[in-house]
Amino acid sequence: MTKSQLSKEDLRRYIKNFWLLVLGGIGIFALFILSIALGLFGKLPSFRDLENPKSNIASELISGDGKTIGTYYLENRSFVKYTELSPNIVNALIATEDSRFYDHSGIDFSRTFTIVFYNLIGKRQGASTITQQLAKKLFGREKKKNIYVTKIKEWVTAVKLERNYTKQEILAMYLNTVDFGSNAYGIKTAARTFFNTTPDKLSVEQAALLIGILKGPSYYSPIRYPERALARRNTVMDQMVKNEVLSAENASLAKARAIKLDYNPESHNEGLAAYFREYLRLEISKLLEDGTIKAKSDGTPYDLYRDGLKIYSTIDSRMQQYAEEAEEAHLKDLQQQFLKHWKNMGKDPITDLSPGALEQAMHRTDRYREMKELGKSDLEILSDFKTPVKMSVFSWQGTIDTTMSPLDSIKYYKRFLRSAMMSMDPQTGYVKAWVGGNDFKFFKYDQVATGARQVGSTFKPFVYTAAIDNGFSPCMKVPNEPIVFEDFDNYSPKNADGKTGGMYSLREGLAQSKNLITMYLMKQLGPKIVAKYAHDMGITSEIPPYPSIGLGVAEITLYDMVGAYSTFANKGIWTKPIYLLRIEDKNGNIIYENKPEIKQAISAQTAYVMCFMLKGTTILPGGTGLRLRGKYKMDMPIGAKTGTTQNQSDGWFMGVTPNLVTGVWTGCEDRSMRFHSLNLGEGANTALPAWALYMKKVYADPTLKISKGDFTPPDTLSIELDCTKYATETPPAEESEEDKDRLGF
């Protein structure tokens, strides 16, 4: 054979071997992919996994007016459908992350080979499609696995995703899983966090900013690095122009606009209705733990923090906002009065603390418990509590960064007055506003449902209710004279002003909160009958069978008091206050529904007469609620009762209108810390103003449709309410001008 002939044979052999090598390589690669697909290199997502991809979805708390007012989460993520997405966010995502998204089936091979070339010459670029990225986010990467095995797994999973879902569904799933920083997972939470809007309303520049963040949530954070975020936003818009989903002219206009954020990072300690959100969290946890909410179809219990539950509450976001604003405005002013009052006495409120109060407060702190668990002695712990450290503390002017000892911080917080408010619709029982305290971040104790305090004169309407229901007339005249209870160690209370004499109708006695008139009725009725009426109207606290209950010595929650007073405005029907309507799973299936509890506690006639009598508090001479008409110019029909406990430790105000009942409590954490002046410490000064500020906002909002009308009388009314037919109502005996200026007890 010649040399040239050998060369041809060699060439054929080389070509044959080359193709054998190529085809063999392809075959081996195909077998490699097949073995991965068969799970020989580890489990791949099953069809069920693909149909139900696991992702930590935040549970949403939805207000009665349809607003999301809170979330419970491990990762703050809420899901949206493709139809709820703005075209701007979809276009920005595809233009930036995967311009050939609609042209491939999960893997973009042409882009992959191009990127491999760029990486070989030192220009690192990512080649993953949106579907591949979704596969990684949904099913993760196993640690210590070969990178090539992992990548092929993502390819296989991406192809499976493309077969099981439409392109639109994949886009929505992707945008629901990504992390935008600032504790915002998913596009719905991100839109709310950065712009206080919804995904369907995102503008071009807003969408571009959010998609730009995805490259590095910390590095491109518009909060920490606005210049970087701006540059990245504009790059995304350039990509949108390049992909012909945004005109150059519109891009130029959008790029000229500065970043405009409405930043609302979500936190368990902050935001609207923080006390309510925490109280509800604990309540739902109980429902899950005790089996009231049944397990899922696979037998596993629902998880409040992972399963994307929809929690529908009765809270109205507008009324909640008004309540929080009213409490803040009032407490800012009242706290100044409190400190000025003590300064004028030349004392510190701390001097009134009962013995051992500071030590008890110290024992309740996490700091103390942690040191005890570490085996520290009491002496070592006390030394630590006396050592100054850096801390942030609450003030009505905003958080203050300072240095003080933990013991001094306890004293600091003891000086603050606390307040709570609850507002409900008496007909439905729906709680509309719930303010448990000053600031949940610094004051964790919820005074609405967990803090029972003495209620003072706000208990008196229960005495009068028992009297009216047992045949007493609101026009009946009673002597304003001391009453002695011989069977109770000759108990004989006095009026707040110490005065006696004169005759008062029951309506006048309630309006002016005369203790002796109440005691007259207590003597006639007996404590047990009065306690029964209070319990029938929804009071769950223990009420001791003593005459002093008529003056409010029983400790009752604000929650119970508002529910009980609602009986007056609801024709005698007590409806248990409702704050949770129902809970749905992420697919909209109802897994819990609240059932209302109602009962006829008193007759409709008695309820109406009590509304008539309570209105006297705001219109009769000497009425303890006259400040509503004077200072606050509120001339609509309002039933009301003020309450002040012994030594002005607690101030109360209960306000009743035809379709809204609201209660306010104010006082210090420790009852020994208080106003020493009745004029300053009475409920008309410590609680009534918050109610007035709240209701003025409520009445001013036409969307709430809160009536300014009068109470509707029952079909049958046999009790005479026109007291002028009997006799002229007698003014308080020997009442001075100074007394007339004192507007409440």
Question: Which CATH number do you get for residue 121?
Answer: 1.10.3810.10
35 confidence band (pLDDT: 50, 70, 90): low
Does a structural domain hold residue 44?
A: no
| pLDDT average, residue stretch 133-146 | 65
pLDDT at 733 over 50: no
Q: How many domains does the chain have?
A: 3
Those residues whose C-beta lies under 8 Å from the C-beta of residue 186, and which sit 6 or more positions away, are 77, 78, 79, 80, 175, 176, 177, 178, 180
The Cα–Cα gap between 421 and 345 comes to 30
Q: What is the pTM of this model?
A: 0.81
Q: What pLDDT band is residue 739 in, cutting at 50, 70 and 90?
A: very low
CATH of the domain at 637: 3.40.710.10
What are the structure tokens assigned to 195, written together?
A: 């712009």
Contact by Cβ (8 Å): 314, 578 = yes
Over range 462-491, report the average pLDDT: 96
Q: Where do we find the tokens 């930590």?
A: 56
Write the single-letter amino acid at 549: I
What are residue 109's phi and psi, to 5 degrees?
A: -65, -40
Please indicate, yes or no, whether residues 375 and 452 belong to a single structural domain of this protein. no
Q: 521-537: per-residue pLDDT in tens?
A: 999 999 999 999 999 99
What's the pLDDT at 113?
53
> Structural domain of residue 202, as residue ranges?
80-265
Contact 739, 732 (CB under 8 A): yes
Does the pLDDT value for residue 589 go beyond 90?
Answer: yes
Q: Other C-beta atoms within 10 Å of 143: how many?
A: 6
Does residue 397 sit in the same domain as residue 449? no
Tell me whether residue 235 is in a domain: yes
Beta-bridge mates of residue 598:
575
47 pLDDT higher than 70: no
- Supply the pLDDT for residue 145: 56
pLDDT at 738 over 50: no
Asked if residue 359 is part of any domain, the answer here is yes
- Burial code of 411-427, b = ≥16 C-beta within 10 A, e = fewer? bbbbbbbbbbbbbbbbe
Pair 557, 706 in one domain: yes
What does the pLDDT read at residue 74?
83
Query: Is 121 domain-assigned?
Result: yes
Look at residues 396, 375, 379 and name the one whose alpha carbon lies nearest to residue 387.
379
The one-letter amino acid at 668: C
> What integer best gives the mean pLDDT of the chain?
88
Same domain assignment for residues 106 and 217: yes
Check whether residue 391 and residue 470 sit in a common domain: no
